[in-house]
Structure 1
Amino acid sequence: MSGHTHTLAEWAAFLSLGAGIPAAVSVPYFLLVDAECWAWPRPLVTVVDRAVRSEALYLLLREWDTARHTVREFCRDAAALLILLTTSPKGAMS
């Protein structure tokens, strides 16, 4: 054995790890297993629910989807045009 003594920082890190691991494991248990329906914050749930079901979000997502498809088609067409302009068919004179 080398006679290495542990510093105060090493002891603090070890104790912090020893307390942190059981705490991290118990959080999902207390949130999901031992939860009662009254324990959840209802105002936050209703605000998020209203935001998800709103017409504005639907319109935003629809426009995002349209823009995504437009960009995809533009990139496909640009790649096809680049291939047509940079290659020559077999037997063509260059």
Structure 2
Amino acid sequence: MTAATPTEWAEALSVALMLSGTTAGLFHLTVDADPVDFDPRPAVHRALDSGRLDPALIAVTTARHTTREVAGRARSLPRDTALTATALLMLLSAPEATR
């Protein structure tokens, strides 16, 4: 008896995968499933109640507040720069500045 070639092993694996996929497909078609089984809300509710997600929720909240603060500073930066430039020009153009 000769040893199996890699091509024969690939054919056998392909047939095995096809049969297992067909069996799994028929099984899933015949199983009685309710739409409630596909609702993720109870699992999310349990995960939130367990406290395992608290560090992640705190990190998200902190990042959100930090982002708001940075955006507020970025909005006020042109105004602050304009005020500073105006004050410097007024100081330099005053008659007392040229003495």
TM-score (norm 1): 0.37
Rg (Cα) greater in structure: 2
More helix by share: 2
TM-score (norm 2): 0.36
